[in-house]
Structure 1
């Protein structure tokens, strides 16, 4: 119960002060450019990597990019760029 109240207080502060939600909650930002590029910011790690799918751990979920000829063009501690023919993106808790 105490955790829910703390979460509610933080949520109210973020909304009242109009703070960036991605920074305050540690959420990932996924930017899709057409069907050829996906930029993922604030990820935790790469779980699986093939030419058909790339599974990534974020703070709150697992994110999988499905497609053909997928590759990671670059990655840093903060972001990564996936290129290839993107078919879909799926989140799982």
Structure 2
């Protein structure tokens, strides 16, 4: 029931998806720190690549010395030398 109200209010007020809790929110500070909110799961993790599942498809982060510094249920913090990131187009269910 709360989900319906949340979606309806978000649609009526035209909030972006990350505000109503559906899409990922990515905050990058320089090339060394990334905060990702609203992710579903960690699909792959190494010092060179991190792949996350989100409601809007997978997100890939590439770099050197990548580390997961904070892992919470809906947000995580990545540190290391970021060289690129991109989205894989498929939607998750």
Q: Distance in 2 between matches of 1:21 and 1:64?
A: 20
The TM-score normalised by the length of structure 2 is 0.79
Indicate whether 1:79 and 2:53 are aligned: no
| Deviation by residue 1:14-48 (Cα, 9 ceiling, x = unmatched) | 2x524353143600000000000010000000000
Q: Which has the higher helix share?
A: 1
Indicate whether 1:26 and 2:22 are aligned: yes
Q: After TM superposition, where is structure 1 displaced by more than 6 Å over at least 4 residues in a row? A: none
Q: Distance in 2 between matches of 1:72 and 1:63?
A: 15
Q: 1:36 to 1:48 in 2, by over 3 A?
A: same
The TM-score normalised by the length of structure 1 is 0.79
Structure 2 unmatched ranges of 5 or more: 1-6
**Cα deviation, residue 49, structure 1:** 0.3
Q: Distance in 2 between matches of 1:27 and 1:18?
A: 14
Q: Distance in 2 between matches of 1:24 and 1:74?
A: 23
Root mean square deviation of aligned Cα? 1.9
Larger radius of gyration: 1
